Amino acid sequence: MSYDNIISQYAKFVKGLTLEHCKEEEELVYKLSNENNVIEKDGCDKPYIKVLKNDRVYFIYYGVPTSNELWPFLNALIRVSNNVVQLDEKERSEAMKIKGNIKLFVTPDCTKCPIAAELLYQLPVINENINLEIIDVTEYEDLGKKYRVLNVPKIVLNDSAEIPGGFPPHIILKMLIKSSEKQ
């Protein structure tokens, strides 16, 4: 199935970003290049897309977002581009209590992964203390093994706290806060 028409609609609202990528064969990044700076890197073994705005890294997607992961990725680009989130005041307040590196492990066919991704993509937009990495374990099997990913979605905070990602967003936020406070 081709997502070209949908991506072109999203592209109208994604502006002012730097999209650094390597081995992104789907050409997703180039379909978004009209109003954005695209940097192609060489010398990597696997694909990734790094999203920056004003020299700040918002997130890195290790792999190429397809199927269920494409929609949250495109939504994230719009949110970063326009500095907009869909979190209520309580969620915003809770998001500010989280610090560190968040890794979200996903697969393209996971049905619960987009829910966790939609939440986590918003966190670095409002909290500069969060470094977000989305990792497609079908592409990055080595990282899946390193972090003992048996089910997705799986969240790892600061390389130590492991959080199942299949919970509702408000529960995920509470678990991230609790884990962040312990470190």
**pLDDT tens profile 31-59:** 888 889 999 998 889 999 999 999 999 99
Amino acid at 10: Y
Which residues are CB-neighbours of 146 under 8 A, at least 6 positions away?
A: none
Tally the C-alpha atoms within 13 A of residue 179's C-alpha that lie toward its C-beta.
Answer: 21
CB 65 within 8 A of CB 147: no
**pLDDT tens profile 132-171:** 999 999 999 999 999 999 999 999 999 999 999 889 999 9
Answer yes or no: pTM beyond 0.75.
yes
CA gap 68, 40 in Å, rounded: 25
Amino acid at 78: I
Domains of the chain, CATH where assigned = 4-182 (3.40.30.80)
